[in-house]
Copies of this chain bind each other. A is one copy, B any other.
């Protein structure tokens, strides 16, 4: 399996390129519109065919590259079940598997940051957590129908029950960390350690953070799959 983590410096967003090196089929998880040329060049150089652009959720902090990549490659856009993105080609729900060559990408619904959010377990040993579980943090729950109780339940019951050595690849990191493990996050994530459901909710409801800079443009754009270049 080819596995490449890619970074957007402006929004601290991670995109993941995953490909079966035998069939040369690829998926991009959470692509960023400003990085489409970089991603297309990499796909071309590696001789890969982009099958899917897969979203963990409808983002509020950046515009997805999915619409543009779909126009250019004929890939399919895949979003979580119930996501408000009628433009998507496929909707994927808890427990479903997206197959990319021999690679199995298993959907684990992890609501709370938004009301339609998936994490994706890749070949059983690494999980792309989007904005649910972050390294020593977690996604916000104060906009886009976020719900702190749901996030607590999904992280503690679905993610923290994975094997300790499972690699955690988040949707963002703001301190330059690229990867963690479930064992580390269970032990050291300050948002969860020593918190029960009630105290977690209280914490999340009192972060008092400003809205993401791009939310007003990003959410409606992402509900159209980010495809701004076409009327």
Contact = CB atoms under 8 A, between A and B. Distances in A.
Contact of A178 (B4, B38, B45): B4
B187 A45 contact: yes
A155 to B, nearest CB: 18
Interface in A70-89: none
A22 interface: no
Interface in A156-180: 175-179
Interface residues of A, number: 21
Q: Number of copies of this chain in the oligomer?
A: 2
Contacts of A9: 9, 12, 176
A153 to B, nearest CB: 25
Nearest to A174: B9
Given A7-B7, A9-B9, A9-B12, A176 B45 contact: no
7 contacts: A6-B176, A8-B176, A35-B175, A35-B176, A38-B175, A38-B177, A46-B184
